[in-house]
């Protein structure tokens, strides 16, 4: 369930469960499909891109996006106007992914992923700016692809979708602190990949 702030007169009253707040809003008339189209169609490419990075397969990504749009259209009557539509769409896509075959498989193994990562992580404090400039797009893609999914999705939402940490936390249903630690690990691992691939010994 997505967390959101409830406030009045600028004072935060607390947190409530947005999904149930949406569902019981009482407004069942819904918004015209045209409004949905206007809001959702520009997100088609970003959602598909994210889906491809999640499941790594064109057919699966296509199905995932199709299902996301179907679910979103159905649920659009209950989408609360004034809230973040893009985050809402990404949340639906991500939740749909979690129930897919690849998503279930990932959830079964994600724990191992994170543990393995902890062990092999190398800290790079010195900027690798010259190396990053030498890394071409293909190498960067491979570097992103080697990231554990839990880190990759945070990195992509922050750096590609330019979401705020809080938005990412809402979409992935994790604390903001976790967003930050995964992001920094993701970036560390990218640096490591670049250093190793370009065959340069890292010297402190």
Question: Closest Cα to residue 54, out of 150, 185, 142?
Answer: 150
Closer to other proteins by Cβ: residue 106 or 153? 153
- Distance (Å, whole) CA 177 – CA 69: 30
Long-range contacts, stretch 130-133, CB < 8 angstroms, 24+ apart:
131/191, 131/194, 131/195, 131/198, 131/200, 132/191, 132/194
Interface of this chain with other proteins, residues 89 to 128, rule: CB under 8 A: 125, 127-128
Stretch that binds other proteins, among 69-77, 92-100, 102-110, 112-120 (CB under 8 A): 69-77
Closer to other proteins by Cβ: residue 55 or 117? 55
Could you say whether residue 174 binds other proteins (CB under 8 A)? no
Give the nearest distance from C-beta 89 to other proteins in angstroms: 11
Give the nearest distance from C-beta 182 to other proteins in angstroms: 12
Given candidates 17, 66, 99, 109, which one binds other proteins under the rule CB under 8 A? 66
What sign results for the dihedral spanned by CA atoms 75, 50, 110, 121? negative
- Distance (Å, whole) CA 177 – CA 41: 32
Closer to other proteins by Cβ: residue 111 or 143? 143
H-state helical runs in the chain: 18-23, 33-40, 44-55, 58-75, 85-98, 101-120, 129-134, 137-146, 149-159, 165-172, 176-197
Could you say whether residue 83 binds other proteins (CB under 8 A)? yes
Burial, 73: exposed, middle or buried (Cβ in 10 Å; 0-12, 13-18, 19+)?
middle
Closer to other proteins by Cβ: residue 17 or 33? 33
String marking each residue 6-25 x if it binds other proteins according to CB under 8 A: xx------------------
Which residues contact residue 149 at a Cβ distance below 8 angstroms, ignoring those fewer than 6 apart?
54, 106, 110, 113
Give the nearest distance from C-beta 106 to other proteins in angstroms: 19
Interface of this chain with other proteins, residues 179 to 198, rule: CB under 8 A: 183-184, 187, 190-191
Residues that bind other proteins (CB under 8 A): 4-7, 32-33, 36-39, 41-42, 44-45, 47-49, 52-53, 58, 61-62, 65-66, 69-70, 73, 81-86, 125, 127-129, 132-133, 135, 137-138, 140-141, 143-144, 155-156, 158-160, 162, 164-165, 183-184, 187, 190-191
């Amino acid at each position: 369930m997505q967390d959101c702030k409830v406030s009045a007169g600028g004072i935060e009253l607390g947190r409530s469960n947005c999904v149930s707040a949406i569902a019981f809003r009482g407004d069942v008339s819904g918004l015209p499909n045209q409004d949905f189209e206007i809001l959702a169609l520009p997100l088609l490419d970003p959602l598909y891109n994210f889906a491809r990075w999640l499941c790594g397969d064109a057919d699966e990504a296509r199905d995932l996006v199709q299902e996301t749009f179907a679910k979103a259209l159905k649920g659009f009557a209950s989408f609360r106007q004034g809230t973040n539509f893009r985050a809402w769409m990404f949340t639906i896509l991500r939740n749909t992914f979690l129930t897919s075959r690849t998503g279930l498989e990932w959830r079964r193994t994600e724990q191992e992923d994170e543990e393995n990562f902890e062990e092999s992580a190398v800290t790079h404090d010195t900027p690798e700016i010259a190396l990053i400039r030498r890394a071409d797009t293909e190498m960067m893609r491979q570097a992103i692809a080697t990231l554990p999914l839990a880190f990759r999705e945070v990195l992509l939402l922050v750096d590609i979708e330019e979401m705020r940490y809080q938005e990412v936390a809402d979409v992935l249903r994790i604390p903001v602190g976790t967003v930050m630690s995964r992001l920094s690990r993701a970036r560390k691992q990218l640096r490591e990949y670049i250093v190793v691939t370009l065959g340069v010994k890292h010297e402190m």
